[in-house]
Structure 1
Amino acid sequence: MSTYVFKEKQFSSLYHKYIISGSSEIMAMILSYVAEKFLFTPYSIMYLKNEPYCKDIQKGLPLPLSLAVDVGCGTGKSTLPLAPHFKSVLGIDFSDSQINMARQCNAAENVSYTVASAEQMPLEDESVDLVNAGFAVHFFDQDKFLSEAVRVMNKNGCLALHACHPSMQVEYKNLSQDLTQVMHEAMANISKFDCNSFEHLSSQYQSIYEAVPLKDKKWITDITEKVSMSTAGLIGLLQAICCFQIFKDKDPNGANELLKNTEQRLHDLLGEDAESAVFNVYFKHHCVLACKS
């Protein structure tokens, strides 16, 4: 399986340094969805009104729930943003290396991390208010994971599955079209080494949305996020993609040549700006949301 690379310490360092974080707009959308589905139901108001942290419930402010679980948490980039909104957040990942990096780099008082499988979570039935999986569910056994997610979700508990399209748009002066083409060609070569994951990402999780075994669900696509990146950041991003590491294991010379060629093409286009240029890079995010009613 392609996921073996996540167990490698060197890859975890690359992944943490260069992989993009989840969309801030998607995270806000998830938290709003949780508030809509749980916090402001008549049942939840009765349940929560005596909690000391719920004094603002009548004002309609976001309030912390009990437990969120970030599945396939990696180095914790999607885990830490949940911390202000829940009493406890648990990040789980099958990779010791990723979990160790998460503990070092994305720690908080109410956040913990553990090594565990997405398809067999170490959690009680109906114990979780939010099951979150960012940039991860396309690596899971989806049927087993979705069944497990439903098992651990509370009544009114929510499921959030999100990632971004593998293509990107690079904006810089009058070179945007050419720079974007260079990155698209590099990604197309890398994608050959994990077609299944790229198919899910390219379809913006359509089949995953259809597989979610809950009636109350929604599918959001084409959420654009702008990220500032350098030439080194673009090359680093390619290396931080799981498929590139598989490419490198199978064909080290070919993978290194791809990086070298891509970097050279960027430098040729940018000229003297190659080292100092800061690009606007646009990623297209998507999200599946569901509620266990």
Structure 2
Amino acid sequence: MNRFFEDKEVAINYLKHRPHYSAEIAEAIINYLAEYKVKPFQMALDIGCGPGQLTRSLAPYFDEVLGVDVSSAQIDVAKTAQNPKNLSFSVGIAEDLPTPDSSVDLITSATASHYFDWTEFRKEVNRVLKPNGCLAVLSFDVIYIDHPDDVIMKKLNDCIDSYLDYTNNQDLKASTPVDYQHTMEKYTTLQLPFADQKSVDIDTRYNGSVTEFIECIKTYAAAINFMKDNPGTSYFMDFQMSIMSILGGGDPDVTMVTSWMPIFIRFARKPGTNL
């Protein structure tokens, strides 16, 4: 698994600037789990948890939730947040899960599973899930900006696509640490375990300033590496200025936009006895 998120400043920015997953995301996951599992649910495992955005949203539904990440910096930052008593965090990897056989009701991974060694991860998922236990992997491709004027919205999102073109922008492509084809194809190319599978798409929206939007983009893995590879670059400032120009100018710190994140979730259920 890639380890470029281990920098402490990166971890802090990830917690500060990445949007938290909406209640609708957690509800979709729990609804799938509840089709064949009886409440109360005992154990959830969130892999590649980062500072815990998805992990915390699962806490109300389980007796125990464990967030696992390869980065000790991400885990340290996760522990600084206000966490419920049934939530804990640990350094670990997807290919060697820190739980006993048949002990977990739910395994999740948000914007991380495209970094896993899926041959080994599938074995671990099968090992630790209880019968009827579920795997839910989710991510998104690009965060866009909504606008009431369709012409302006198209200009904004064409601008976003242009600046975040991992295929044709050779500098950005060179800094991309993983093949984004999995996310571009909504994880349909990932070989999930188990025959019982389902896919769900959910659009979530967030309000914030243009500056906050750009700071979120700068937490992308490709952006992190690009800034390391190109110290002093004005790339993301130019990106911000382009957005402000389309919006008619102003102060990016106070100009508010509604960004929308097209989330896709892929589910798989371990075989077990029907309810």
Fold similarity call, TM over 0.5: yes
**Alpha-carbon spacing, 1:191–1:13, altered in 2? closer, same or farther (3 Å):** farther
After TM superposition, list the pairs within 5 Å mapping 1:96-245 onto structure 2: 96-171=72-147, 173=149, 175-188=152-165, 189=169, 190=172, 192-194=174-176, 196-208=178-190, 211-221=191-201, 223-245=202-224
SS of match in other structure, 2:9: helix
When you count helix as a share of all residues, which structure comes out higher? 1
Post-superposition offset of 1:191: 5.0
**Alpha-carbon spacing, 1:109–1:246, altered in 2? closer, same or farther (3 Å):** same
SS of match in other structure, 2:84: coil
Q: Which moved more, 1:273-282 or 1:256-265?
A: 273-282
Partner of 2:60: 84
Post-superposition offset of 1:110: 0.5
Partner of 1:49: none
**Alpha-carbon spacing, 1:272–1:167, altered in 2? closer, same or farther (3 Å):** closer
Post-superposition offset of 1:108: 1.1
Cα deviation per residue 1:61-96 (whole Å; 9 max; x = unaligned)?
xx4311101111100101011111110011111111
SS of match in other structure, 1:4: coil
Partner of 1:259: 236
Q: Does the 8 Å contact 1:23/1:285 carry over to 2?
A: no
**Alpha-carbon spacing, 1:274–1:7, altered in 2? closer, same or farther (3 Å):** closer
Whole-Å separation in 1 of the counterparts to 2:253 and 2:260: 20
**5+ unaligned residues in a row in structure 1: which ranges?**
40-62
SS of match in other structure, 1:28: helix
Runs of 4+ in 1 over 3 A off after TM superposition: 189-192
Are residue 6 (structure 1) and residue 5 (structure 2) matched? yes
Whole-Å separation in 1 of the counterparts to 2:204 and 2:173: 22
Post-superposition offset of 1:142: 1.7
- Over alpha carbons, which structure has the higher Rg? 1
Normalising by structure 1, what TM-score?
0.84
The CA RMSD measured in Å over matched residues stands at 1.9
Whole-Å separation in 2 of the counterparts to 1:106 and 1:6: 21
Whole-Å separation in 1 of the counterparts to 2:82 and 2:124: 25
Question: Matched residues, percent identical?
Answer: 28
SS of match in other structure, 1:126: coil
Aligned mate of 1:280, from 258, 263, 271: 258
- Partner amino acid, structure 2, of 1:30: I
Normalising by structure 2, what TM-score?
0.89
| Count of aligned pairs | 264
- Partner amino acid, structure 2, of 1:181: D
Partner of 2:23: 24
